[in-house]
Structure 1
Amino acid sequence: MNALERLEVSCSRAWPPLVEEPLGEWSLRWAAGFTGRANSALAVGDPGRGLGDALEAVCDFAHGRGIAPMVQVVRDSPNERAIAAAGWVPAAHHGAGHEVAVLTAPLRPAPAVPDVSVRDEPAPEWWELALRPGEDSPAARQVLAGGKVGYGVATAEGALAGVVRGALVEDWLHVGRLEVAPAFRRRGLGSALMGAVQAWGAEHGAARAVLQVAEGNSGALALYAGLGYAPHHRYRYWVPAPGSCEDSTS
């Protein structure tokens, strides 16, 4: 497994599914449909069997848990080329975007900002802002609370104005769920939240930060570039061609 793939494994551990089964070095993941990352096979490294058998196992695992089969794979990797050659196609209709940029940055000291902090437990309001319409479920809350997590909050005018999530895996801080309420945007709260969660990560032993952003999210990409995040690699989601992924266990 190369460095890009090892980072993907680290990111996956920061976003733990409810069910995870190994397939050689691949991972089969299920979280009741909450996010592609937690409901796909992470196809990095060697699956320990022929590719056709591995993709059949992906299909069986997904069908057995009521989700659509999908793999997450590093873009332009040997695994991706093999999956494409096997007849799978890009998951172009994946709601959050089927191509994702992985960005990294060293952790640098950031000045504290009043009314911006990172907590060990999420307040009820944190969930209201961090979870998008239709996302709130026991599975979503379990995924976002898994591992060593810091819950960043920003308040303004007596209200919760923004949130962010930081998860620690080894010496990586995985940043996600940055959200600022519409009424409080363009006030620098996104940058302040990022500074707070990065300071929290450094205090807990992280040396570097990583985050994942849909390739089409130009606003977020611009924000993170301004904060010193640089492209590391990309991954894509792939799905079987229609009619090509039957449940062999039925």
Structure 2
Amino acid sequence: MNAPETLEIACSRAWPPVAEEFLGGWRLRWADGFTGRANSVLAVGDPDRPVPAALRAVCDFAHDRGIPPMAQVVRDSPNEHAIAAAGWVPATSHGAGHEVVVLTAPLEKRRFHVKATPPGGRFHVKVADEATAGWWELVLGSDAGTEAARAVLGGGKVGYGVATDGEVTTAAVRGALVDGWLHVGRLAVRPEHRRRGLASALMAALGSWGVEQGAGSAVLQVAEGNSGALALYAGLGYAPHHRYRYWVPAPGSCEDSTS
């Protein structure tokens, strides 16, 4: 298995679905619609059957659980070519963006020198083993009470980074540890508190936490259209590793094989 596919498996384990089944190396995932990563098939490796048959099983799995069938696949990989040849199409209507850039950076303890309080601010930054109510509210908003979202974000060894100003949670981020990787996600800063260095301070605190937990590298996933986030992470030393895309069946082509 190539390096992008191996890293995609680690990222999937850091973002665990509520339900998961396997088609050979492919991973069928369900989390009640919370994020594309947890509600699609991760099409890496060999599905142990012809790709058209595997995609029919993907359709059955999705329909049985009430989610749209969708495949996450490394861009320009043999699996992507096979999925396209089977008649599936890019998921251009996917709300978060159908093409995603995977970025990585080495974690070195000497890099993390940002103080707990960013310059000129009253904000306190820390990483904890438990998410606060403010973390959930900022990261999830109206989804804060859903069991699936909490299961995905609470699974595995996780650090919850928060920046606070008194009782107010002004910024948040999530870090999960898998196979020596620190998987970073859900970075959020309240609009009225942006451009104050909070994102950089949180990322530094989370990186330090990752080093303390034994991680050697960090990885994160950003939609290619999110130019602001890409610029932020580039400034923090992250570089593109590979890209993946979401694919969906062409209209009318994904009927249940069991019906």
One fold, TM greater than 0.5?
yes
Give a deviation string over 1:202-240, Cα, whole Å, max 9, x none.
000000000000000000000000000000000000000
Q: Which runs of 5+ in 1 are unaligned?
A: none
Alignment equivalent of 2:185, drawn from 173, 176, 188: 176
Residue matched to 1:244: 253
Counterpart residue type for residue 48 of structure 2:
G
- 1:190 equivalenced with 2:202 (yes/no): no
Q: CA separation of 1:136/1:76 partners in 2, compared to 1, >3 Å: closer, same or farther?
A: farther
Task: Look up the equivalent residue of 2:170 and give its one-letter code.
Answer: A
Question: Which of 218, 222, 232 is 1:223 aligned to?
Answer: 232
Matched-pair contact (CA < 8 Å) for 2:20–2:30: yes
Which letter does structure 2 place at the counterpart of 1:118? V
Q: Distance in 2 between matches of 1:142 and 1:49?
A: 31
SS at match of 1:151: strand
Q: Structure 1 residues 209, 68: closer, same or farther in 2, change over 3 A?
A: same
Structure 1 residue identity aligned to 2:240: P
Q: Where in structure 2 are the equivalents of 1:1-250 lying within 5 Å? A: 1-109=1-109, 110-111=112-113, 112-114=115-117, 115-134=124-143, 136-250=145-259
- The 1-side partners of 2:258 and 2:35 are apart by 25
User: Partners in 2 of 1:36 and 1:178 — Cα distance?
Assistant: 17
Aligned amino acid, residue 113 of structure 1? A
> For residues 48 and 155 of structure 1, what CA distance do their matches in structure 2 show?
49
Q: Is the 8 A contact 1:72 1:236 kept in 2?
A: yes
Determine the structure 1 residue equivalent to 2:121. none
Provide the C-alpha distance between the structure 1 equivalents of 2:196 and 2:108, rounded to a whole number of angstroms: 22
Q: RMSD across aligned C-alpha pairs, in angstroms?
A: 1.0
In structure 2, C-alpha distance between the alignment counterparts of 1:185 and 1:178, rounded to whole Å = 12
Q: Is the 8 A contact 2:182 2:219 kept in 1?
A: yes
Deviation at 1:158, TM superposition (A): 4.2
**8 A contact 1:34–1:135 mirrored in 2:** no
The structural deviation recorded for 1:108 is 2.5
Query: In structure 2, what residue type is equivalent to 1:220?
Result: A
Count of residues in Structure 1 that have an aligned counterpart in Structure 2: 250
Counterparts of 2:236 and 2:210 in 1: how far apart (Å)? Answer: 16
Question: In structure 2, how many angstroms separate the alpha carbons of the residues matched to 1:168 and 1:233?
Answer: 20
Q: Offset of 1:63 from its aligned partner? A: 0.5
**SS state at 2:240 partner:** strand
Q: Which moved more, 1:104-113 or 1:11-20?
A: 104-113
Q: CA deviation at 1:132?
A: 4.0
Report the AA paired with residue 214 of structure 2. Answer: G
Q: What SS does the corresponding residue of 1:131 show, helix, strand or coil?
A: helix
TM-score by length of 2: 0.94
CA distance in 2 between partners of 1:18 and 1:158 (Å)? 32
Kindly state the Cα deviation for residue 157 of structure 1 after the two structures are TM-superposed: 5.0
Where 2:53 maps in the other structure, the secondary structure is: helix
Q: Cα deviation per residue 1:121-146 (whole Å; 9 max; x = unaligned)?
A: 01111100011445641100110000
Question: Does the CA-based 8 Å contact 1:99-1:234 persist in structure 2?
Answer: yes
Check the 8 A contact 2:143/2:149 in 1, yes or no.
Answer: no
The worse-fitting range, judged by mean Cα deviation, of 5-14 and 132-141 is 132-141
Equivalent residue letter for 1:53: A
Kindly state the Cα deviation for residue 156 of structure 1 after the two structures are TM-superposed.
2.2
Q: Output the TM-score relative to the length of structure 1.
A: 0.98
Provide structure 2 residue ranges, at least 5 long, that are not aligned to the other structure: 118-123
How many Å separate the matches in 2 of 1:176 and 1:132? Answer: 15
SS at match of 1:153: strand
